[in-house]
Structure 1
Amino acid sequence: MSKIFLLDTNQQPLNPIHPAQARQLLKNKKAAIWRRFPFTLILKEAKPEVEVQPLRLKLDPGAKTTGLTLVNDTTGEVVFAAEIQHRGFQIREALTSRRQLRRGRRNRKIRYRAPRFNNRRRKEGWIPPSLQSRIDNIITWVKRLQKIANISDISQELVRFDMQKMENPEISGIEYQQGTLAGYETRQYLLEKWGRKCAYCGVEHVPLQVEHIHAKAKGGSNRISNLTLTCQKCNLKKGTKDIKDFLNKEPQKLELILKQAKKPLASAAAVNTTRFTLLNALKKAGLPVETGSGGLTQFNRTNQGLEKAHWVDAACVGESTPKLIIKGIKPLIITAKGHGTRQMCRTDKYGFPSRYVPRNKYVYGFQTGDIVKAVVTKGKKVGIYIGRVAVRTTGSFNILTKIGLVQGVSYKNCKSVHKKDGYSYAY
């Protein structure tokens, strides 16, 4: 079960505690709530000094979702788990839209606005904003967790460990193909590229086999663009047939498969671009950083019989992975929302100003992005709503809850639970 973080009276991290113990501390008024997400308590009275066990922070960076866990290396217990959902692709689309609107304005018969892309300098190590946001999200949460947990080491999924070379220094050539990690790297890439389902029939949650689109018996290569994933039934049915003959009655599916085979994996490209930038940023935290490959992560997870999930992959990163205890763990889903926009006004689809943006971001003490609890006792919307609020100058707010969007809730019924910090949270 996920533990509750605990701080002493000097705001220094103590050993995480069981939720039942946390409830007892709150009931006896010996502790107060320090932070809601992740849930953290702070003691009101000094406690006798106890040995605080070190924890390892483990990261599985992804283009859309990054898994994050805190693991006790001594006991193998997963103390905390989370999944950070990035907004890199949203940023890319927003920048593309802005670029297109500016280009369109320059080409119209209106006041000329000269392009400014030639008079700007980029700092050394610059990466695109859509990729930088992923780095910033991860570093933000590393720093936050360092304040509430005794983190001694960091593990990041990055490079391959040559485990076979470590076990057998004399290994060479084709012997690598029969090793412990043989096929794990290629298979992991194909699982991401083909969506973890059969390319021919679309079946999911069954054992998948690596299949040559152009049969190897007829000259097909082991090139990654010639490989796909299929179920056993489709693999046997296709055999050594040409893909065009096999799918001659399904031209649309044939076109999609051939198109997907040549299509690069955008998510993998994003991760590959940022992995060393993230590594260098993590090293600045002043903690030892261990790295491990994606194949090793899958190997550790498979050996322990764990289900596929981003936070589980994070727990399995690196050579230091012990026998994990994950029973009852419920990951915190952290979604990056950003901190708003600097636009002076909103525009229509042609790039012309269409509506006004209020200068004052606070309305009756609330701002868009706060997590609130609204208790409505009369009217058509009677009930209790907890979620992310969107403020309106009229005082009639919208609240995004688990069940959907609730509109027209008065500010008088709202109570702040968690102030805006650029993220939304769910379990």
Structure 2
Amino acid sequence: MSNFVLVIDTNRKPLNPCTPGVARSLLKSGKAKVFRRFPFTIVLNKAVDDKPIPMQLKLDPGSKVTGIALLQGEKVVFGAEIIHRGQQIKDALESRRALRRGRRNRKTRYRQPRFLNRNRPDGWLAPSLQHRVETILTWVNRLRRYTPIEGISQELVRFDLQHIENPEISGIEYQQGTLFGYEVREYLLAKWSRKCAYCGKENVLLQIEHIHPKAKGGTNRISNLCLACEPCNIKKGTQDIEAFLKKKPDVLKRVLAQAKRPLKDAAAVNSTRWALFNRLKQTGLPVKVASGGKTKFNRCRLELPKTHWLDAACVGNVEQLDVKTIQPLLIKAMGHGTRQMCGTDKYGFPIRHRSRTQIHQGFQTGDIVKAVVTSGKKIGTYIGRVLCRASGSFDIATKDGRVQGISHKYCQAIHRKDGYAYSW
């Protein structure tokens, strides 16, 4: 079961998505043509006056992968996962910084120091984080062009920190509710790295433990909770942590310090999500938000597997889900290459010169092509990203490996370069 096919009419008006079988029938009968390969979209040969059913776009932003789901009522008709390249951007900037620092140390030339260009605007994000916001917005706008989206749901924060830090803020009903338990457990699992705080065991059943025992006045605040395996929890009992870890001063120091420490990288993640939220509001669509604990509560209640795109489908208020697809589109951010005209080695010394010409025989490196070779030693059909050369002899990166020396005469472009690689 693959994603539904997106449909637009001849005036580029978004219509209701259709099943792959219906799309094949329309294409075979000549009533529609392929408009775009990724996401697969067909365009009808006539205008349609029917009003399409409104759809909800749901997002689950993550540090490395972002889940996307399109819902038509309770029916999930499209799923995708965007694989970000924030770490690649960070590594490239660090490499550039090292090369520039090396040139300064060698004193190859002198440039007057400039400081006016160091002012950062309000809301500035590091390039590796800004890339994630821009990539998600690119796909939100792209899907809006092909589907009748009337609202966006976003997982704004991973945990409902306000209720976790102060359980009494909304009364006893929320404190004792099922959802609050999910918020606390997910927060503690992330904070203590899914390990016992006292012995460090992994892949065992963990229990919520009060660092300062409740029997001696300890509270349920998140700063007084940790995770412990059953033997350690029973052994500690109602002892003070100082007495329990008297012979392990290093463990005692680590546990007390980690109990007060917030989640790692929480500031960066939260700033990215708020920046994304503010940019989504600028689209003019209503934006609903929810926490990650609520997302997991919905997913576990509906007995769905743990995937990024299903997490996106479970964002917000969800009663039931009719999952019509089990094969999401995997979108990997690849970038658009480099603008450097001089290629360097790992030490920063020039070793080659790049040509300004990027299009050869009508193809550009990064295009997805289909090559049907009918003669020679490489007879067969190859589909993948192409690496172009001025000689007209191309390389094609397929899922089975790289095929070299394919003539441009056999190639047919099926998707032009847009900075992403696609798979299922």
TM-score w.r.t. length of structure 2: 0.83
Q: Percent identity?
A: 58
Give deviations 1:249-293, integer Å, cap 9, x for gaps: xxxxxxx99999999866654321211111111011111110101
Q: Residues 160 and 293 of structure 2 are in contact (CA less than 8 Å); yes or no, is this contact kept in structure 1?
A: no
- The alpha-carbon distance between structure 1 residues 113 and 70, as it changes in their structure 2 partners (threshold 3 A), is same
- The alpha-carbon distance between structure 1 residues 334 and 20, as it changes in their structure 2 partners (threshold 3 A), is same
Match of 1:356 among 341, 344, 353: 353
Partner of 1:288: 286
Instruction: After TM superposition, give the deviation of residue 131 of structure 1 in Å.
Output: 1.0
Alignment of 1:40-55 (within 5 A): 40-47=41-48, 49-55=49-55
Partner of 1:147: 145
> C-alpha separation between the residues in 2 aligned to 1:258 and 1:161?
23
- The alpha-carbon distance between structure 1 residues 183 and 37, as it changes in their structure 2 partners (threshold 3 A), is same
Partner of 1:188: 186
Q: Secondary structure at the match of 1:127?
A: coil
Instruction: After TM superposition, give the deviation of residue 346 of structure 1 in Å.
Output: 1.7
Moved more, 376-385 or 63-72: 376-385
Partner of 1:32: 33
Counterpart of 2:312 in structure 1: which amino acid? A
Partner of 1:394: 391
Instruction: After TM superposition, give the deviation of residue 409 of structure 1 in Å.
Output: 2.6
Alignment of 1:156-305 (within 5 A): 156-159=154-157, 171-172=170-171, 176-192=174-190, 200=200, 203=203, 209=207, 268-305=266-303
Partner of 1:20: 21
Q: Secondary structure at the match of 1:424?
A: strand
- The alpha-carbon distance between structure 1 residues 287 and 395, as it changes in their structure 2 partners (threshold 3 A), is same
- The alpha-carbon distance between structure 1 residues 231 and 85, as it changes in their structure 2 partners (threshold 3 A), is farther
Partner of 2:72: 72
Instruction: After TM superposition, give the deviation of residue 384 of structure 1 in Å.
Output: 2.0
Partner of 2:400: 403
> C-alpha separation between the residues in 2 aligned to 1:412 and 1:261?
65
Q: Residues 106 and 113 of structure 1 are in contact (CA less than 8 Å); yes or no, is this contact kept in structure 2?
A: no
Instruction: After TM superposition, give the deviation of residue 216 of structure 1 in Å.
Output: 6.4
Instruction: After TM superposition, give the deviation of residue 27 of structure 1 in Å.
Output: 0.7
TM-score w.r.t. length of structure 1: 0.82
Q: Secondary structure at the match of 2:359?
A: coil
Counterpart of 1:354 in structure 2: which amino acid? I
- The alpha-carbon distance between structure 1 residues 238 and 88, as it changes in their structure 2 partners (threshold 3 A), is farther
> C-alpha separation between the residues in 2 aligned to 1:67 and 1:391?
32
- Measured on the aligned residues, the alpha-carbon RMSD in Å equals 3.8
> C-alpha separation between the residues in 2 aligned to 1:400 and 1:243?
57
- The alpha-carbon distance between structure 1 residues 402 and 94, as it changes in their structure 2 partners (threshold 3 A), is same
- The alpha-carbon distance between structure 1 residues 370 and 236, as it changes in their structure 2 partners (threshold 3 A), is farther
Q: What number of residue pairs does the alignment pair up?
A: 410
Moved more, 21-30 or 399-408: 399-408
> C-alpha separation between the residues in 1 aligned to 2:125 and 2:328?
30
Instruction: After TM superposition, give the deviation of residue 87 of structure 1 in Å.
Output: 1.1
> C-alpha separation between the residues in 2 aligned to 1:377 and 1:78?
41
> C-alpha separation between the residues in 1 aligned to 2:19 and 2:83?
27
Q: Secondary structure at the match of 1:181?
A: helix
> C-alpha separation between the residues in 1 aligned to 2:230 and 2:330?
35
Q: Residues 201 and 234 of structure 1 are in contact (CA less than 8 Å); yes or no, is this contact kept in structure 2?
A: no
Gaps of 5+ in 1: 249-255
Q: Secondary structure at the match of 2:322?
A: coil
Partner of 1:306: 304
> C-alpha separation between the residues in 2 aligned to 1:333 and 1:131?
20
Q: Residues 330 and 423 of structure 2 are in contact (CA less than 8 Å); yes or no, is this contact kept in structure 1?
A: yes
> C-alpha separation between the residues in 1 aligned to 2:372 and 2:278?
47
Gaps of 5+ in 2: none
Instruction: After TM superposition, give the deviation of residue 223 of structure 1 in Å.
Output: 8.8
Give deviations 1:318-367, integer Å, cap 9, x for gaps: 12x23101143311111111112121212222222222111111111111
Instruction: After TM superposition, give the deviation of residue 243 of structure 1 in Å.
Output: 8.4
Q: Residues 106 and 114 of structure 1 are in contact (CA less than 8 Å); yes or no, is this contact kept in structure 2?
A: no
Q: Residues 77 and 325 of structure 2 are in contact (CA less than 8 Å); yes or no, is this contact kept in structure 1?
A: no
Q: Secondary structure at the match of 1:57?
A: strand
> C-alpha separation between the residues in 2 aligned to 1:300 and 1:137?
27
Q: Residues 68 and 81 of structure 2 are in contact (CA less than 8 Å); yes or no, is this contact kept in structure 1?
A: yes
List structure 1 runs of 4+ shifted beyond 6 angstroms: 160-164, 193-199, 214-217, 219-246, 256-264
Partner of 1:324: 321
> C-alpha separation between the residues in 2 aligned to 1:379 and 1:259?
68
- The alpha-carbon distance between structure 1 residues 380 and 230, as it changes in their structure 2 partners (threshold 3 A), is farther
- The alpha-carbon distance between structure 1 residues 411 and 201, as it changes in their structure 2 partners (threshold 3 A), is farther
Moved more, 382-391 or 50-59: 382-391
Moved more, 19-28 or 119-128: 119-128
Match of 2:371 among 374, 396, 405: 374
